[in-house]
A and B are shown apart, each in its own frame.
Chain A
Amino acid sequence: GAVVSQHPSWVICKSGTSVKIECRSLDFQATTMFWYRQFPKQSLMLMATSNEGSKATYEQGVEKDKFLINHASLTLSTLTVTSAHPEDSSFYICSARGGASGDYEQYFGPGTRLTVT
C-alpha cells in the first residue's frame, strides 16, 4: 500500500512554456502533499506544502506565481511550472501524507525529470 505516482516521469519543454506535473496517491487519501526539487548532486529541497482544499504554503525563496500548486482532491496534486526557463530544469518529487487515521508517514513519488531547452 501507500503508493504515490507522478506523471510524466520526464518532460522536455521549450523556454517560456508551462509544464504541469501530476502527483497521485493511489491507495490512500492524502490530506497533505509536498513538492520537492532536487538539482544534480544535491539533496531534496522542499518547495511547498499543500493541504487539500487550501492554498499551498511556499518555502522561502520559492516563487508562488511561478510554481503553481493545486491540491483540489485528496488523491491529486499538480505542480505547474509557468514560463519555464533552463534554470528550472530539475528533478521534481512529490510526497503525500495521510492523517485521517493517524498515519503521519510521508510516501514519495518516483519523481519527474524536467528539462527546459
Chain B
Amino acid sequence: DAKTTQPPSMDCAEGRAANLPCNHSTISGNEYVYWYRQIHSQGPQYIIHGLKNNETNEMASLIITEDRKSSTLILPHATLRDTAVYYCIVRGRSGSARQLTFGSGTQLTVLP
C-alpha cells in the first residue's frame, strides 16, 4: 500500500473549516484514499473515502487532486468534539484488499 505523509498537528478555531492535508505521491491507480479519526481512548471511526472524484458526506468532504498525489479532508464547521487524531490511509479495495495500515496521523485540536 502507498505511504502517506501528514502534518503531525494542526489547530482550528471552533466553527471554522478544518482542512487536513495528506500526501500520497506513490498511490497506484486502484488504490483508494481513506480517512479515519480516533478520539482519545476510542477505536478509529470511519469518515470518508474516495478514488479520484471529490466526495462529501454528513461528516466531511474529501478533495483529491487530479493527479491523485494528495488529498484534503475538510470538516466544514469544526466543533470541540472534532478534536482527534486524523489518519489518511491509502488502500486497495479489491477482493484481496489488505488491512488498513495506520501512519502517525494529524492531531487536530479545535480551539474554543
Chain A residues within 8 Å of B, Cβ to Cβ: 4, 6, 32, 34, 36, 43-46, 49, 91, 93, 95, 97, 99, 104-111, 113
In the assembly, what is the distance between CA of A43 and CA of B103, in Å? 6
A106 touches B100 (CB 8 A): yes
In the assembly, what is the distance between CA of A34 and CA of B100, in Å? 9
The 7 closest A-B pairs by CB, nearest first: A108-B43, A44-B102, A43-B102, A108-B44, A104-B97, A110-B43, A111-B43
A113 touches B41 (CB 8 A): yes
CB neighbours of A49 from chain B (8 A)? 99
Residue among B41, B43, B95 making CB contact with A104, cutoff 8 Å: B95
Which of under 10, 10 to 19, 20 to 34, or 35 or more describes the interface residues of B?
20 to 34
B102 touches A109 (CB 8 A): no
What secondary structure prevails in chain A residues at the interface with B?
strand
Chain B residues within 8 Å of A, Cβ to Cβ: 36, 38, 41-46, 87, 93-95, 97, 99-105
A95 touches B100 (CB 8 A): yes
In the assembly, what is the distance between CA of A34 and CA of B44, in Å? 13
Residue of B nearest to A4 (CB): B43
Most buried by A among B38, B95, B100, B101: B100
A91 touches B41 (CB 8 A): yes
In the assembly, what is the distance between CA of A32 and CA of B36, in Å? 19
Shortest beta-carbon distance from A47 to chain B in Å: 11
Shortest beta-carbon distance from B87 to chain A in Å: 8
Residue of B nearest to A42 (CB): B104
A34 touches B41 (CB 8 A): no
27 contacts between A and B (CB under 8 A): A34-B100, A36-B102, A43-B87, A43-B102, A43-B104, A43-B105, A44-B44, A44-B102, A45-B102, A46-B101, A49-B99, A93-B43, A95-B43, A95-B44, A95-B100, A99-B95, A104-B93, A106-B99, A107-B46, A108-B36, A108-B43, A108-B45, A108-B46, A109-B43, A111-B41, A111-B42, A111-B43
